[in-house]
Amino acid sequence: MASPPYSLPPVLTERWSAVRWPATAGRRTLTRLALSAPYVVLAVWLQARGVHSLPNAQLERVAGSLSRPGATVGAVTRAFPPLGPAIARLLPGGPGTLGIVGALGAGAVLHLCWERLVRASVPRWLIVLLLAGVGGSPIFWYNATGNLVGFVGLIAFVVAAAGLLDFLYLGRTTGGYAAGLSMAFAVLCDPAALVYALSMAIAIPFLGWERFRGEPIAILSAVAVVVFPTVAAVTAWAFLEWRFTGTVNHSLLFASGAFGFPAGLAGGLRAAASHVGWELTCAPVFAVGAVSLLPRRPMAAVGLLAVPLDLVLTAWFGLHAQTGQGIVLLSIVGLMAVPSRPNRIIAAVLAVEAVAGAVCTVALSDVGGTAHLLRAMGL
């Protein structure tokens, strides 16, 4: 007699709505375009004034060097992560066009946060305030229009996180597949996503503790679904590099100072931890979201600690430029961690923290090229 089919443990009772918002694909697309419009206008205006960010200009130079007639296959295979130069090579118009692409991505990520908050039954007035606090930050403007590689990697990570939550809490297998593929895409865009992928794998048992408790096979299955595409992508690229160059060194062209540790291991770690502490101060919604999870899902709140740990490690390893990207990431993850149907006290605290975070990022916006952007805008 055939054995009964094995399935994942039953889905947790969850207050999130499983319905997409808006209901139709056309309306969702229009919503994303509407949210992108201010950033597209900003990118076009900056391009007209000849204001280009350093990260996008560097990306354009790398793409140009790899497309020269004298570039060898070996040089191309050493360009890890590869998607950044590929995107820059395919798009005409130089750094200005890269800014417009990033601006379109800003609308997509804001819609993803908006949809998550609607499905969590968060009051409309609080949704508007939270999205304005994140999307209205000068650091968000700069990363959206001036740091395409990092911002696309961040978007892919957020999409992966949203898919993971659907997989763990709503039982959507497609969410797990979306999480795995998005994480692989993020790694092929931004070297810092290698650390994100590892921490996401570590966080899965904590995030799904109530569902997977006592089911180690289910935990391993969930981790495999999310991690396998990333492992496959990195391994395949390593094989190509070995095949054409004889070595596997992953040049990390977008993180030229990676693993340099100029201040020493201990000194660099202290500096990285201090910097991430400042980023947490400018993204208080993350702390509120994590604390509000404690009464309902204490293990999930512990799993959220993987995000600041990611930022400490990537800053310590020197895997990305200091453009305030960590503040954006913490803020977005904080929005996704807002509890469903928050009571009045939590809603009031979230409202205050949204305003405080926006004020902090404006007052302390001398990060990377953000101050340069504000000066170009006359602010």
Instruction: Tell me the pLDDT tens digit for each residue of 246-255.
Output: 776 654 444 5
Q: Round to whole Å and give the CA distance between 369 and 361.
A: 13
Residue 69 clears pLDDT 70, i.e. is over it: no
- Inside any domain, residue 40: yes
- As given in the structure block, the two tokens for residue 117 are 């908050």
14, part of any domain: no
What is the reported pLDDT for 266? 85
Give me the chain's average pLDDT, please: 80
Closest residue by Cα to residue 229 from 282, 268, 193, 279? 193
pLDDT given at position 50 = 81
**For a pLDDT cut of 70, what percent of the chain falls above it?**
81
For residue 113, CA distances in Å to 202, 224, 240, 256, 331 come to 23, 26, 37, 32, 10
Q: CA 134 to CA 350: how far, in whole Å? A: 12
97: in domain:
yes
Residue 343 within any structural domain of the chain: yes
> How high is the pLDDT of residue 1?
43
Question: Phi/psi of residue 326, each to 5°?
Answer: -65, -35
Q: What is the DSSP letter of 3?
A: P
Q: Which of 207, 204, 206, 241 is nearest to 221 (CA)?
A: 204
* Closest to 172 in 3D by CA, of 329, 312, 317, 14: 14
Query: Residue for token digits 């978007």?
Result: 155
Q: Is residue 17 part of a domain?
A: no
Q: Is the pLDDT of residue 64 over 60?
A: yes
Quote the crossing angle between the two packed helices 54-66 and 148-169, to the nearest 10°. Answer: 100
239 pLDDT above the threshold of 80: yes
Distance (Å, whole) CA 159 – CA 316:
25
Q: Please, which pLDDT band fits residue 76 given cuts at 50, 70 and 90?
A: low
CB 55 within 8 Å of CB 321: yes
114 burial via Cβ count (<10 Å: 0-12, 13-18, 19+): buried
The span from the CA of 235 to the CA of 241, in Å, is 10
Q: Of 209, 195, 200, 222, nearest to 293 (Cα)?
A: 209
Q: What value does the mean pLDDT take over residues 179-189? A: 89
pLDDT at 12 over 50: no
pLDDT in tens, 116-170: 899 888 999 999 999 998 998 888 988 899 888 888 888 888 888 888 888 887 7
Q: What pLDDT shows up at residue 4?
A: 44
Q: Is residue 327 part of a domain?
A: yes
Residue 255 has what pLDDT? 54
Cα–Cα distance for residue pair 349/135, rounded to 1 Å? 19
The per-residue pLDDT for 111 is 94
Per-residue model confidence as pLDDT tens digits over 84-117? 888 888 887 778 888 999 999 999 999 999 998 9
User: Does 74 or 1 have the greater pLDDT score?
Assistant: 74
Q: CA–CA distance from 15 to each of 118, 141, 233, 296 (Å)?
A: 11, 33, 35, 12
More confident residue, 106 or 223: 106
Q: What is the pLDDT of residues 324-369, one digit of tens each?
A: 788 888 999 889 888 888 888 888 988 888 888 877 776 655 555 5
**In which domain, by residue range, is 44 found?**
24-376
Supply 42's token pair: 């900003």
Instruction: Give the pLDDT confidence score for residue 9 in this predicted structure.
Output: 44
Q: Looking at this protein, which amino acid is placed at residue 148?
A: L
Query: What one-character-per-residue DSSP string does 221-272 give?
Result: HHHHHHHHHHHHHHHHHHHHHHHHHS------TT-TTTT--TT-HHHHHHHH
Q: What per-residue confidence (pLDDT) applies to 310? A: 84
Residue 252: per-residue pLDDT = 46
Amino acid identity for residue 358 in this structure: A
Higher pLDDT, 12 or 364: 364
Q: Look at the chain and report how many structural domains it folds into.
A: 1
pLDDT number for residue 364: 58
For the CA atoms of 187, 192, 195, 198, the dihedral, rounded to the nearest 10 degrees, stands at -20
The answer as to whether 307 is a domain residue is yes
Report whether pLDDT(312) > 50. Answer: yes
Residue 181: pLDDT over 80: yes
State both tokens at 211: 């569902």
In the prediction, which pLDDT does 366 show?
53
What phi and psi, each to the nearest 5 degrees, are found at residue 274?
Answer: -65, -40
